[in-house]
Chain A
Amino acid sequence: MSYLQYFLIPELDRRLLKVWLRNKDVFMKNIKLNFLPPFLEPILYLLAMGFGLGTFVDEIGGVSYAQFIAPALIAVSVMYASFFECTYGSYVRMYYQKTFDAIIATPLIIEDVIAGELLWGATRSTINALVMVPVIAAFGLIDLKYSFLIIPFAFLGGLLFACIGMCFTAMTPNIMALNYPALLFITPMFLFSGTFFPLEVLPEPIQYLALAFLPLTHIVRVIRTLAYGSLELSLISDLLWILIASMLFFILSMNLMKKKLIV
C-alpha cells in the first residue's frame, strides 16, 4: 500500500517541453564543446582497444574485435550521456541553481519539470548516437542496413538511464554521494554488460543476473544486432524490458522528486 504512493501517475502538461527547450538552449550555447566528446571518444577507444588490443583477439562470433566493441561503445555513450545529465546535471540545476524552484512558480508543476529533464537526458543520448554512428561507420565497422535505427533507439535507451539517474538524484543526500551509483552501478555495467567480451563467457546464473539487473545488457544487444545488419525477433524481449523499466522508473523518479522538493 505505502509503496503505491511512489507510483502515482502524474498529470503532465505539454508545457513540460519548455523545460526541454531550456536545456537545449543552454546546450546550444556550448555546442562545439558538447559535440566533441561523442566525436572523439569512439575514435580513441577504437584505436586503443579495437585496433590495439584487438590485434591479440582473433575474432568474436565471426567479427573482428573492433567490430564487436564498436556497437558497445555507442551503447555505453547512450548510458553515460543521459545518466550523467540527469544525475550531476539535474542535481546542479535543482540544488545549486534553483532552476526547478524558479520554474514551478509558473504554471508548471514539479512533475512537468522532471519530465522535461528526462526527455532532455534522452535527447543527449540521441545526440551522442547521432554523432557516433557516422564516425564508426566511417571506420567501416557497422553494417549500414539498419544502423540508422540505432539513433531513434538511443532515445529510448537514453530515457531509461535518465529515469534511473533521476531516482538517484532524488535520493542522494548531496552531490558527492552521486559518486556511489556512478561507481557501483554504472562502472560495473560498463564492463559486464557484454560490452568488451560476450556475456556468454560468464557462468550461466551470472548471465541471467546481468540480463535481469543490468539494463545496459539489453541496450548493447539491440544496438549490436542493428549494427551487424540484422533484425531479430528476440529484440522484442529486450525492447519490452527497456520499455517497461523506463515507464516504471519514469513514474518513480517523479514521485521521489515530488517527495523531496514539495514539502
Chain B
Amino acid sequence: MKIAIASGKGGTGKTTLATALAQAAAQPVQLLDCDVEEPNAHIFVKPQWTNHKDATIAIPVLDTTRCTNCGKCGELCQFNAIVTIANQTMIFSDLCHSCGGCVLVCPEKALQEQPKTIGYIDTGHSGEITFIKGTLVIGEAMSPPVIRQVKKTAAADQLTIIDCPPGTSCPMMTAVNGSDFVLLVTEPTPFGLHDLKLAVETLRSMDIPFAVVVNRAGCGDDKVDHYCRNEQISLLLQIKDDRRVATAYSRGDGLLSALPELATQLRSLLTEIEKRINQAQGQTQGGGTQ
C-alpha cells in the first residue's frame, strides 16, 4: 500500500503528517522523503543512516575526434542541450533531460553517455521505519529523476508513505505517480483553499483516489469544509491549531510528541485508507489485494 502525502501550498504540514503517520503505524513501514529540493523529514525521524548512494542521470559526452559537426544531434534535442554552431558542437549538460536521443541519432558514434551526479539517496532506520531520503544537489535544476530514484530504492510490497514536494507540477506529479491513495494536507485559509483546488484537479486528472486533511483547524475560516462538502471529497482528519504543535515543530519534534493522543486517530486513518484502496481496486479488478 502506497500513500502519498501532498498539498498544493507549501508549509501546510505534509512532513508533519507523513512522519507522524509512519511513527503511529505500529508495523514495518517505509517513509520516503521525495521533497528532494528541501528534504527535512529526517529532522523528525532522526534515523540511523545505513546507506548513501548517488542519484545520477546519463548525459552525453562528445568524442571530438569522431564528430563531423553534422548537427543531427542538435536537430533532435528538444532542450537545446546539444548544439552545433560555427562548426563546433557543444553540450550544455545542465539542460540535458537524459533522453538518449542524440547518442542514437549520431551517425559517427561520436557521443557516449556518462553518469552525472545530480543528487543523493540516503537510507536509514528508526524503530520500525525504513527511511529513504532524496536530496537534489544545489544548483541542479531537475528534481524528478532524483524523486524517481528514491521511489525505485523502496521495496515494492511494504506499507509506504511518501512525503511529496509542494505544488502541482512535475515534481509533485512524479512523487504521487503510482500511489494507491493521496492525502492532501491543507489549512483553512484562502491560500490553502486555492492551492487545494489545484491539487484536487491534478489528482483527478491523474485518476488517483484522495482525501483531505485539514491542519491548523480553527485558525482561519470554514471555506475548505464547504468546498470539500460541495465536491464530495472526504475530509478524513482535522488537526487543531495548537501552539504546542508549532513549538514542538520548531525544535524538530514531531506531531506525536506534542499530541500523543493523535496516534490512535492516525492508525484508524491508515485502516480507513486501506479499506478505500481495497474498495477502489475491487471495483476495477473484481477483487483487491493489499
Do A and B share a complex? no
